[in-house]
Amino acid sequence: MSLTAGIVGLPNVGKSTLFNAITNQKILAENYPFATIEPNVGIVTVPDERMDVLKEMYNPERFIPTAYEFTDIAGLVKGASLGEGLGNKFLSHIREVDAIVEVVRCFEDGKIIHVDGSVDPIRDIETINLELAISDLEIINNRLERVAKKARTTKNKDDLLEAEALEKSKEALEKNIPLRQIKYTEEEDKLLKSYSFLTKKPIIYLANISESELDSEDNEYVTKVKEYAKKENAQVVSLCAKVEEELSELDEKDKKEMLEGLGLDDSGLNKLIKATYDILGLATYFTVGKDEVRAWTFKKGMNAKQCAGIIHTDFEKGFIRAEVISYNDLIEQGSELKVKEAGKARLEGKDYLMQDGDICHFRFNV
């Protein structure tokens, strides 16, 4: 299951530095707007201590943790929806992602130019969110008249429902309410999916702070961002992009020592990855054996048959049943054999809702 988060923000807020940390690639990170022209894509390993335990237990030939894709998109400026800066090129790239990570500058540094001349995270957030809303509104206005006319003519149920959903969306955006805050029915969600509305995507506000503030209470800028995010039930992650970049260049031992020296129990990047998993409603199941230990990402609420299809479509088409044990039971008992002897191994049918930490073997016949 391929999932992507788009890293966005005004120029010079630390996006490209953060992306360097995410992928340990040395893309251009200069002190001027549009240092990133084409979207840069990087794959990162999702941190999961359970994988390390399974690796130790099975000593497999192949070890494949689950991964997550981050796309670094060129700095947005006021008027992007009208073609300013990189304009709609930026907006077309961001429509392809599953979630938005909005980097917000929450530190003072006279050496780094702010595109608006001063540090004001709420102004920056509102600038970006307004551009996203205007872009969505333009799509709605272009489509709504045609859909409404078709619905009046055909009286088709789906056309009528789509017109109503678009009208509901338009009213929300005109009141400065992002679409992710609107409650849609399952049918409306399905009809609106193809539009890939920007303000409907889940969002995380990433507060980029200075190294000196890592082990202290939130500064006034971060506090304001959290207050803003709370109104729309969004998450906030604080980190220092520069420190994350330095950490990415170290081996695990040195990284641990640096984190301890900074008074941190985990990197900001790991917290960000976990936060993106949370807002997208993702979880992990495992397949294990001497040949391979592998983690698989699935959306909470998916059944066993659907999860089998993540491995291969044939697994879903010919699904018979799933042999399932929980990670916690495996660790408690010490081996698969002992889990079975304790009566805690299960055979589940196609409608079984997969749980985070399930260890599965799928039986299928094509």
220-226 contacts, C-beta under 8 A, 24 or more apart: 221/104, 221/105, 221/106, 221/107, 221/119, 221/121, 222/106, 224/121, 224/122, 225/104, 225/106, 225/121, 225/122, 225/125
Overall average pLDDT of the 120-141 stretch? 91
| pLDDT of residue 37 exceeding 70 | no
Instruction: Answer whether residue 89 shows pLDDT above 70.
Output: no
pLDDT at 28 over 50: no
Q: Which one is predicted more confidently, 31 or 333?
A: 333
Q: How high is the pLDDT of residue 73? A: 74
Question: Exposed, middle or buried by CB within 10 Å (0-12, 13-18, 19+), for 64?
Answer: middle
Average pLDDT over residues 247-255: 89
pLDDT of residue 44: 82
pLDDT at residue 91, as a whole number: 63
The pLDDT of 245-250, averaged and rounded, is 90
The phi, psi pair for 177, rounded to 5°, reads: -110, 120
Measured CA to CA, the distance from residue 101 to residue 103 in angstroms comes to 6
pLDDT average, residue stretch 317-329: 97
Question: What's residue 33's pLDDT?
Answer: 40
Quick one: average pLDDT of 311-316? 95
Residue 39 — very low, low, confident or very high, per pLDDT cuts 50/70/90? low
Q: What is the pLDDT, as a whole number, of residue 307?
A: 97
Specify the 3-state DSSP secondary structure of 226.
helix
Q: pTM to 2 decimals?
A: 0.84
Would you state the pLDDT for residue 78? 60
CB 225 within 8 A of CB 207: yes
pLDDT, mean of residues 99-104: 94
The SS3 call for residue 290 is: coil
213 or 115: which leads in pLDDT: 213
